[in-house]
Amino acid sequence: MNRVSADLLMPRILVVDDERQIHASLRLRIGSDYDLAFCFSAREALDRIERERFDLCIADIHMPEMDGLTFVEEAQKTDPELGFIFLSAFDTDENLRRAIPLQVFDFIGKPLPDRDGFEDRIPGWIEQTRNRRHQRALAQHSKEMVQDLQSAQLEREVELVASESARDALLQTAGLLTTIHAHLLSSSTLLNQRAKSDPSLGHLLRSLEEARKTADAAILVTESFFDSAYGNRDTSPAVVNPGLRHAINIATRMSHAEEMHKTVDVTPASDEVIVREISGIDFLLMMVPAIGLALYTTAPETTVRVTTEHVARLENASRDSRYRQHLWINRRNALTSHAGVTITVTCGAAPLNRAVAEAWLKGASTPLPAITARGLVLGMQKAKGLLGIAVESSGEVFQLVLVLPT
């Protein structure tokens, strides 16, 4: 599991209790800081645990049909890393004896204790669950991680060599073009003088002038390369419009979209927009997986739509009625009060399953293609932006919403 991407997700807590007042109390006390899910029975909670991933479970011991201890025994068969807190108005020696092998984090009495005894301890409990998941992932996938690291290092080296080779070749080309341009200009000047006395040279003069203009255009192309994200990977700014064009080209090739007649339609920003805190290459590494995933999921002969719009404050996007129910990433670290740009990637495919989306962001194995979300997650963290994902409960179509500070 990628701990960096996991920490960007708002922690999810499952509450299992047959008392409505407990649900209301927890919603009031911690609902603004955590993504809460509520169940009134152990059976309902077991079904949720099979379908979704949580960071902590708060369960009542004394429930009808299935008590909390039996519930935890069953739940651990599905999710052995999930941490549990027991709620109970009273405890018996038998309950304590049965709870020991379950390794629950703690027993909390009813009514709920003060902040020091409850709220302030929740981050530590969540961290224990995430540490368990992290250690299990390392144990299960250590070999794959080594292979991925070696593969990523090789790709990086190839990319750097190719980039530097391209730079050197273009630099030499730029020098040659400058020399050619100078010769063409000199020849045009001499021929222009002779053409005054010999009209038959007019056609040749026009050909030379066209050649000079072509050389001008070629020089402009090479110069623009050195001002782009490719010319200087680490310091060139993340300019949205050209960055989107490059990302679409790369994602289209990676996903073989043209073979299945998939296209991308982009509505560019109305003016030059630069994303703060990240470089042009960072922006590319964010947008390529976002667009590539949309191209992979959409059906043949359909179009992925990429739109941009300004936003006065980043937090306005997550409150927008169009995106309010999305799964939002990096809320705690985002520059929510800054102005920014919203880049929305939409296609006609079904929205992602929440568990699949979270697993993809964390770098876990998923049914999604071999398009890593690492660049998207790291770029979002570096830019201090927001990422919204339409999941099955929040939308009718596939949609990613990147909200980046400008």
Low-confidence ranges of the chain (pLDDT < 50): 1, 151, 154, 157-158, 161-162, 229-231
How many distinct structural domains can be found in the chain? 3
Rounded-to-integer distance, Cα 315 and Cα 41, Å: 35
Q: Two tokens at 266? A: 């982009």
Give per-residue pLDDT as tens, 96-116. 667 667 778 888 888 888 888
Q: What is the pLDDT of residue 158?
A: 42
Domain boundary among 226, 248, 265: 226
Rounded-to-integer distance, Cα 287 and Cα 248, Å: 8
Same domain, 210 and 266: no
β-bridge partners, 310: 341
The range of the structural domain enclosing residue 269 comes to 237-405
Residue type, 299: A
Phi, psi of 121 (to 5 degrees): -95, -15
Q: Which of 53, 81, 52, 67 is nearest to 16 (CA)?
A: 67
Domain boundary among 200, 226, 252: 226
- Asked whether residue 99 is domain-assigned, the answer is yes
Rounded-to-integer distance, Cα 162 and Cα 317, Å: 39
- Asked whether residue 252 is domain-assigned, the answer is yes
Q: Two tokens at 344? A: 């929305």
Same domain, 64 and 171: no
- Asked whether residue 372 is domain-assigned, the answer is yes
Q: How far is CA 300 from CA 263, 303, 348, 366, 396, in A?
A: 9, 9, 11, 22, 19
Count CB-CB contacts under 10 A for residue 379. 27
Q: Which of 281, 264, 245, 296 is nearest to 378 (CA)?
A: 281
Rounded-to-integer distance, Cα 232 and Cα 241, Å: 17
Rounded-to-integer distance, Cα 393 and Cα 351, Å: 9
Q: What is the pLDDT of residue 162?
A: 44
Same domain, 79 and 53: yes
Same domain, 153 and 84: no
Q: How far is CA 95 from CA 6, 80, 228, in A?
A: 33, 20, 66
CATH code for position 71:
3.40.50.2300
Q: What is the DSSP letter of 308?
A: E
Same domain, 199 and 243: no
Domain boundary among 92, 112, 132: 112
- Asked whether residue 202 is domain-assigned, the answer is yes
Q: What is the pLDDT of residue 260?
A: 92
What are the respective helix, strand and coil percentages of the chain, to the nearest 5?
55, 20, 30
Q: Helix, strand or coil for residue 214?
A: helix
Q: What is the DSSP letter of 299?
A: P
Using only C-alpha atoms, the chain has a radius of gyration, in whole angstroms, of 29
- Asked whether residue 218 is domain-assigned, the answer is yes
| Residue 49 CB partners (closer than 8 Å, separation 6+) | 14, 57, 75, 78, 79, 82
